[in-house]
Amino acid sequence: MNGKNIILGVTGGIAVYKSADLCSKLVSAGFDVRVVMTANALRLISDRIFLTLSKHPVLTDLFSGLQPRPEHVDLAEWADLLVVAPATANFLGKYATGIADDALTTAALTFRGPVLLAPAMNENMWNSPIVQDNLAKIVEKLGVRTVGPDTGHLACGTSGKGRMAEPADILEAVKKTFSA
């Protein structure tokens, strides 16, 4: 998959630990990966992990640098695919309603290529009619694809649907996107 560029969006869900493994797998598969993290993601995992794994600076703030052109626009034009893992209920709500208040949502709304989301949240959140409506809106209007969520043990201590798909499964979905 050499020559393919991926934005990996990382949000503030507890499944963020799987995102580091996904980043590593994507790079090992030959993709050029640039990571964009939300403020809540940074509260759970360090951007230095993604810097090391991707070999690129991590975009965490819309106003962190002095570029003549906004970084989120450059990234959106550079990328062949946007992957958001985990895709939290918060991210889905913002994306579905066009709220662009951080580096990830602005990059996502600027990006015009294929998008793959890996939802991850508590089962009650996942089953919320509002979350389902937001996801349906994204899929219908933007043609976004999803992988997961899976069923199993959740961080809140219950079992149910809401686990982020395994990084290997997300990698396979990424490969399918490029071979379609």
Low-confidence ranges of the chain (pLDDT < 50): none
Residues 78 and 73: their CA atoms lie apart, in Å, by 9
pLDDT for the residue numbered 152: 86
Domain boundaries, the chain: 5-179
**Could you report the per-residue pLDDT of 111-123, keeping only the tens digit for each?**
999 999 999 999 9
Q: Name residues whose C-beta falls within 8 Å of residue 180's C-beta, 6 or more positions apart in sequence.
A: none
Tell me if residue 156 is catalytic: yes
Superfamily of domain 5-179: Flavin prenyltransferase-like (3.40.50.1950)
Which among 47, 156, 166, 172 is annotated as catalytic?
A: 156
Long-range (24+ apart) CB contacts under 8 A made by 18-22 are: 18/85, 18/86, 18/164, 18/166, 18/167, 19/45, 19/50, 19/85, 19/86, 19/167, 20/45, 20/49, 20/50, 20/53, 21/167, 22/83, 22/85, 22/167, 22/170, 22/171
pLDDT for the residue numbered 160: 83
Residues 98 and 158: their CA atoms lie apart, in Å, by 32
pLDDT for the residue numbered 176: 95
Distances (CA, A) of 176 to 145, 153, 169: 11, 27, 11
Please give the model's pTM, rounded to 2 decimal places. 0.94
pLDDT for the residue numbered 77: 86
